[in-house]
Structures are given as structure tokens and as C-alpha cells.
Copies of this chain bind each other. A is one copy, B any other.
Amino acid sequence: MIKLFIADNYNLTESELEAIRSLGYEITLARPNQAPSEVCENHEEMEVALCEHFYLKAHLGEMPNLKMVQMTVAGFDNMGPVIFDTYKNTKFYSGSGTYGVSLAEWTVGKTLEIYRQAARFEGYQKQHKWSWEGSTQTKELWGKTVLVLGTGDVGSACASRYKAFDCKVIGLNTTGRAVPGFDSCCTREQLPEILPECDVICVAIPRTEKTLYLLDEETLSHCKQGAVLVVNSRGRLVDETALCRMLDSGHLLGAALDCFETEPLPEDSPLWEQKNLIIYPHCAGVTMGLRNRYVKRYLENLARYAKGEEPVGLIRYERGY
């Protein structure tokens, strides 16, 4: 039996745990706030863990013999160095590929809310006011150009949905290589010439050393008048101060952010009150359906590991995700 440690953030059901056992695992369960050493004496013998990188960091060294760690998160970000130093011989697998659907639905939904001025009409409802005021100024996705930064699972899921609204969709990736589902692809070097054509900019790119502040003040300045920005991946890809100035000036029509420079966003952050900004607490990917997808991923990857096959979603630290 393979010794499996689960720091259960996911409320796995008894039948799901049974399915894992039947793959050849002996399970030790911890609540998210319990250290491995609080739950069992043989924590050093654990071979596989289902947990997040921050759980490992909090209890660094308590499970030194892990060979495989399956996470739900898609990005490793700045949690990397200390964990990779400690776990030199451990393979980490992300939940990458399970977030596309939920993030894309959120992204398109928020674009439509901004375009159709949902907040204005909610205000009318609260005032019991039957009014068309402003309606003729609302926008449609039809015929618009959408730039999606990132052409992976999330970016592609966004692209296919925007396409159904008759948008032209341009993807951005490292090499500008063509990706199915995008009308064309470009590199970051092309941003100054491409941004002026884009009505919607969707940020669905991992944060790595290379992408940090990809949308800095200078790059943002190339945005089309009235453009909309939606960020569903990570903070510190967009210069928040420049973004707020552009929302204030009306250069940007609106923005929706799920990720921020500092998380959790402090209660006294001015962002909460920023005009034309929708704030989401980094759970745009969290839905009932997400749970189904990562439980499926757990089972698939644990089955592969047990059979000696390579699981899905290996994190390559040198690449950054």
C-alpha cells in the first residue's frame, strides 16, 4: 500500500476516499489547519500527498520523503524556491487544466456585465425606477476584437466562448505560434501595435519572471479608448496604479480583477471603491464544477502513479508553472 497524506480542503466524500483506497493507497487525513505531525507518527514515511504548496511550506520538512505531490492550484508562483529546495526529489503536479471552464465563464460573464452596464440597471431596480436611460450607450461583444494573454487551457476556453459571440480573438504566447481556436497569435513585442485594435483584453497567463508586470504603465498606455480589461490568472501582471488612473480618466471603460498585487486585498485598499472596477476575491475559478474536475484529476493521477505511469500536469520549475 502506498502511504498517502491528504490535507483535506476538499471535503472528499467517503466514497471518493474509498475509490482512492481501491487504487492501492493507505490514507492519512488531516484537516487543513492540522500539521502532519499532529495527525500521525509516521509522517516521515508519506510517499504521496494531496495538498497545496502553502500547506507544505507551513509544515516544511515534516514529510521529507514525498515522491509526488498533487495540488489543486494551477500556479506555483513565488511559493516555489523554498519548497523546491526542500523537495528536490519530489515531483509536483498542478491542477492546471481544471480551471478553464469556470474561469472562462467568469471572464465572459464579467465582460458582458461591464459592456451592458449591469450595475446601472441594478441601481434602477433598487430605486424601483423603470428607465431606459443609458441603454443606447451599452455595448455588444458582437464584432469586437479580444486579445487573450495566454493560449493555454484557460486562454483557449475563453477564446472559444468569445468566438461564439462573433468576436475576433487574438492570442498572445511566448513565440507567437498559432493555436487552434484563435484567429491569430502574437508575442509580447507586438503589444504596442496590437493593443490599439483590441476592445477587450483578457489576462489568462501564468505569472513567471518573464510575465511580471507584462501590462505595465507604458504597455497599458497603448490600449484602445474604451477598452475593457479582465484578469483571471494572477496579480502583479498589471500595474494596478496605472490601471486605476485609466479607469478614472475613462481611457478604459471598465475592468474586472480576480487577482491582485496583494492578496487578500486589505480592507483599506482604495481599489475596493475604484470606479468601474469589479473586484473578485481570487475565486473566479471556484464553482461546483471545479470540485468535480479536480476530484477526477486526483483519481486519474493517483491511478497513474500507482501503475507507474506519468501523471498529468507536472510542474516544471524552470519554466515557472
From B128, B132, B141, B142, A272 is in contact (CB under 8 Å) with: B128
- Report yes or no: B105 in contact with A116, Cβ–Cβ below 8 A: yes
Q: Which residue of B lies closest to A130 (CB)?
A: B264
For the complex, is A1 an interface residue (Cβ under 8 Å from B)? no
Distance between A28 CB and nearest chain B CB, rounded to angstroms: 24
Stretch of A118-126, A147-155, A203-211, A227-235 with 4 or more beta carbons under 8 angstroms from chain B: A118-126
Contacts A163-B164, A281-B132, A289-B143; A116 near B109 (Cβ below 8 A) = yes
For the complex, is A265 an interface residue (Cβ under 8 Å from B)? yes
Residues of B within 8 Å of A175, CB to CB, are none
Q: How many chain A residues have a CB neighbour from B under 8 Å?
A: 54
- Report yes or no: A136 in contact with B287, Cβ–Cβ below 8 A: yes
For the complex, is A165 an interface residue (Cβ under 8 Å from B)? yes
From B119, B269, B288, A140 is in contact (CB under 8 Å) with: B288
The proximity string for A residues 267-290 relative to B, scoring 1 for CB distances below 8 Å and 0 otherwise, is 111001000001111010011111
Distance between A254 CB and nearest chain B CB, rounded to angstroms: 13
For the complex, is A222 an interface residue (Cβ under 8 Å from B)? no
Q: Which residue of B lies closest to A286 (CB)?
A: B135
| Known contacts A135-B286, A136-B288, then 14 further A-B pairs from the complex at CB < 8 Å, ordered by chain A residue | A101-B142, A105-B142, A105-B165, A109-B112, A109-B116, A121-B281, A128-B267, A130-B281, A132-B286, A135-B287, A139-B287, A139-B289, A142-B289, A143-B289
For the complex, is A160 an interface residue (Cβ under 8 Å from B)? yes
**A: which residues have CB within 8 A of B?**
101-102, 105-106, 108-109, 112-113, 115-116, 118-119, 121-122, 124-125, 128-132, 135-143, 160-161, 163-166, 263-265, 267-269, 272, 278-281, 283, 286-291
Residues of B within 8 Å of A281, CB to CB, are 121, 124, 129-132
Q: List 30 A-B contacts (CB under 8 A).
A: A105-B116, A105-B140, A105-B141, A109-B109, A109-B113, A109-B118, A113-B118, A116-B287, A119-B122, A121-B281, A122-B122, A122-B278, A125-B272, A128-B267, A128-B268, A128-B269, A128-B272, A129-B267, A130-B264, A130-B265, A130-B281, A131-B281, A135-B287, A136-B288, A137-B288, A138-B286, A139-B289, A140-B288, A161-B165, A164-B164
Residues of B within 8 Å of A106, CB to CB, are 112, 116
User: Which of A109, A122, A286 neighbours the largest number of chain B CB atoms within 10 Å of its CB?
Assistant: A109
Q: Which residue of B lies closest to A288 (CB)?
A: B139
Q: Which residue of B lies closest to A108 (CB)?
A: B112
